[in-house]
Chains A and B, each alone.
Chain A
Amino acid sequence: MVCKNNKTTISRYLDGLLNEDENKSIQEHLNDCPECRNFYEENKAIMTLIEAPDQVLPSPYLYSKIRKNIEAMENRPAALKWLRPVLVPTLVALTFLLFGLTSTLFFRNLAGRSGALARGSGAELNLQVFNDAPQSSLAQAYTQITGVRK
């Protein structure tokens, strides 16, 4: 187990962030503490293992590709340039409007049907399911309230 407070100090030591006194102190500690020494060596090993890969040269055609992109960007029809900030909010607004209209019509239609059902008699709908409802049952209460009879 590495001494708790020394982990970050060792890391700072590896990155050359300590002053002279701190360097000396941590070096002494590393000589005396095998766990911290191990922690130090593993971290140092990572820095050695993952060296920067050799510099690579980009393709000589890279600039012409970028130029093409810039030309495409600049030659985009002027109408599209100003349409985009207008078109997107308009489409969003239209979607909301359409959704609002559809739901209003749907609920109005539903309300109309429920109203017809509430207003209409059981006879109209040929609703005779509660004819033989037992005394004091919910079904009997329903027949009294709505007037559904034999």
Chain B
Amino acid sequence: MPDDHDGADDRELMDRIVNKDEKAFRQIFERHQNRVFNLAYRYTGSYHDAEEITQDVFLKVYKNANSFQHGSSLGTWLYRIAINTAMNFKRKKRLATESLDQINEPGSMRDEPAAAITQNPEEIYKRKKRRELIQSALDSLPPNQRAAFVLAQFEGMTYLEISKVLSVSIAAVESLIYRARQSLVVKLRPLIDRGELDRKF
């Protein structure tokens, strides 16, 4: 749930950001950077892209602090900015580098973590391939389906929360997640059939 840090403090800080208070901005950044960054990371699958998106999100927060409405939750507002920024970022990147192979991009989820050193090369290779397949299946989803799926599956948000972030009805969220899941079943059936469910993405 994106609201654990919300409350009078966040709203007061946002008021101070409107008046260009750097300390207030830094506090908001410290409180929310991990969530924004991890959402971007889970959406894009790339550490580098997640950093760019996070920068962009907080720049927007600084520029548009006056458009934050006190009646709403800062968490939802931030998630909305973050998911829209991530969707636009991916769209632009896809147009720019459609033909480029990004599989070996440094710092990506597709890379093996340091802990993998203890595994044998065959296991590392299989794990890498599995991650590539999952990431490619996620990448192939339409932006809205992917956003709804990431928010539900990775962020653990309820349909109501997702509907607020994506500004759609709850029924639409349900439909987006249903369709995303059916596409993923089709694309990842080889992994399901091989029984690779004991390993983590």
Interface magnitude class on chain A: 20 to 34
Which residues of chain A (62-77) have a CB below 8 Å from chain B? 62-63, 65-66, 69-70, 73
The answer, yes or no, to whether A111 is at the interface (CB within 8 Å) is no
Smallest CB separation, A10 vs chain B (Å):
10
Which residues of chain B (56-74) have a CB below 8 Å from chain A? 58-59, 62-63
Which of the candidate stretches B3-11, B79-87, B118-126, B187-195 sits at the interface with the other chain?
Answer: B187-195
Interface string of A41-85 (1 = CB under 8 A from B): 011011111111101111100110110011001000000000000
Whether A46 lies near B26 (C-beta < 8 A) is no
Instruction: Report the bound CA distance from A41 to B150 in whole Å.
Output: 20
Whether A45 lies near B192 (C-beta < 8 A) is yes
Please, which residues of chain B bring their CB within 8 A of the CB of A52?
A: 42, 153-156, 201
Whether A56 lies near B41 (C-beta < 8 A) is yes
Smallest CB separation, A1 vs chain B (Å):
15
The answer, yes or no, to whether B34 is at the interface (CB within 8 Å) is yes
Please, which residues of chain A bring their CB within 8 A of the CB of B134?
A: 49-50
Q: Is the interface of B mostly helix, strand, loop or mixed?
A: helix
Whether A12 lies near B174 (C-beta < 8 A) is yes
Whether A58 lies near B201 (C-beta < 8 A) is no
Whether B34 lies near A70 (C-beta < 8 A) is no
Instruction: Report the bound CA distance from A19 to B138 in whole Å.
Output: 30
Interface magnitude class on chain B: 35 or more
Whether B185 lies near A62 (C-beta < 8 A) is no
Whether A43 lies near B188 (C-beta < 8 A) is no
CB within 8 Å of A: which residues of B? 26, 29-30, 33-34, 37-38, 41-42, 47, 50-51, 54-55, 58-59, 62-63, 109, 134, 138, 152-156, 159, 174, 177-178, 181-182, 184-185, 188-189, 191-192, 196-197, 200-201
Whether B41 lies near A49 (C-beta < 8 A) is no
> Top 6 closest A-B pairs, CB basis?
A52-B154, A58-B37, A45-B192, A11-B178, A42-B185, A48-B197
Instruction: Report the bound CA distance from A71 to B138 in whole Å.
Output: 36
Whether B177 lies near A15 (C-beta < 8 A) is yes
Instruction: Report the bound CA distance from A56 to B196 in whole Å.
Output: 24
Instruction: Report the bound CA distance from A43 to B184 in whole Å.
Output: 9
The answer, yes or no, to whether A8 is at the interface (CB within 8 Å) is yes
CB within 8 Å of B: which residues of A? 7-8, 11-12, 15, 17, 42-43, 45-53, 55-59, 62-63, 65-66, 69-70, 73
| Nearest CB in chain B to that of A65: its residue | B55
Please, which residues of chain B bring their CB within 8 A of the CB of A11?
A: 174, 177-178, 181
Whether A50 lies near B38 (C-beta < 8 A) is no
Instruction: Report the bound CA distance from A62 to B48 in whole Å.
Output: 11
Whether B41 lies near A66 (C-beta < 8 A) is no
Instruction: Report the bound CA distance from A8 to B174 in whole Å.
Output: 9
Whether B34 lies near A58 (C-beta < 8 A) is yes
Smallest CB separation, B114 vs chain A (Å):
12
Q: Known contacts A17-B159, A69-B59, A73-B59: does B174 contact A49 (CB below 8 Å)?
A: no
Instruction: Report the bound CA distance from A15 to B160 in whole Å.
Output: 13
| Nearest CB in chain B to that of A11: its residue | B178
Please, which residues of chain A bring their CB within 8 A of the CB of B159?
A: 15, 17
Smallest CB separation, B28 vs chain A (Å):
11
